[in-house]
Amino acid sequence: MRFVDQLSDGLGIVAGWIFFLTGLFLTYEVASRYLFNAPTVWAAEVSQLLLIWGVYLALGRMMHRRQNITIDFLYDRMAARPQRYADTVAVVITLVFALVIVWYGGWIALDSFVRGRSTGTMLNIPNWWSEAAVPLGFTVLCLQSVVELIRLWAPRSRA
C-alpha cells in the first residue's frame, strides 16, 4: 500500500511541475507573439500535450488525498458507518469507471501507435503520446482505489 501511495503522490508532484512548465511555455508564447511579433510553432501544442499528461498523472494523488468531490452538506452530517458506506460506493464506482477507461483507452493508444497516427500539425506529434496518458493515469487511479478500499474496510480502520 505504501508503494501505491508513494507512486500516486510522486506522479501528483510531477503533474504539478508539468502545470508550472506549461504556464512558462504559454507565457513565453504570449510574450513572443505580442511583444516581438514572433509566435512559436511549438508552445501551444506542447502545452496541450503537457496539460493532458498533468491531468491524468494527478488522478491517483487526488484519490489518495481524498480530494474528490463530495456533498459536504450531507456527508458531514452522517455518522461514521454511513460515511464508510458512502465512501465505499464512491470508490467502487470510481474503480469500475477507471477499469473501463484503462481497457478502452489502452486499445485506443495502442491502435494509434500501430497505425502511426499523428496530429497532422506543424510538429506532427504522434497521437499515442497524448493518448497513453489516459490508461496510465487511470491505472494508477485503479491501484489507489483498491488501496483506499482496503483502508476503508481493514479492521484497524473501523470506527
Instruction: Check whether 36 has a pLDDT greater than 60.
Output: yes
**pTM metric for this prediction:** 0.89
Cα 6 from chain centroid (whole Å): 15
Judge whether residue 67 has pLDDT over 90. Answer: no
Residue 126's φ and ψ, nearest 5 degrees, are: -60, 135
* Residue, of 10 and 74, whose pLDDT is higher: 10
Residues of the domain holding 143: 2-157
**Which residues pair with residue 126 across a beta bridge?**
118
- Give residue-wise pLDDT tens across range 71-119: 778 888 999 899 999 999 999 999 999 999 999 999 999 999 999 999 9
On the question of pLDDT at 11 being above 70, the answer is yes
Position 155 scores a pLDDT of 81
Q: How confident is the model at residue 123 (pLDDT cuts 50, 70, 90)?
A: very high
CB under 8 Å to 56, separation ≥6 — which residues? 133, 134, 136, 137, 138
Rounded to whole angstroms, the Cα distance separating 67 from 13 reads 15
* pLDDT score recorded for residue 73: 82
Position 109 scores a pLDDT of 98
pLDDT, position 159: 46
pLDDT for 158 beyond 60? no
The yes-or-no verdict on residue 157 having pLDDT over 70 is no
Contact 138, 105 (CB under 8 A): yes
DSSP 3-state percent helix, strand, coil across the chain (nearest 5): 75, 0, 20
Place of cell 502511426: 116
Which pLDDT belongs to residue 75? 84
Closest to 43 in 3D by CA, of 17, 21, 14, 15: 21
Q: Stretch 40-48: mean pLDDT, rounded? A: 95
The cell numbers describing 2, all together, are 505504501
How many structural domains comprise the chain?
A: 1
N-to-C CA span, the chain: 20
- pLDDT of the residue at 32: 95
| pLDDT interval class at 138 (50, 70, 90) | very high
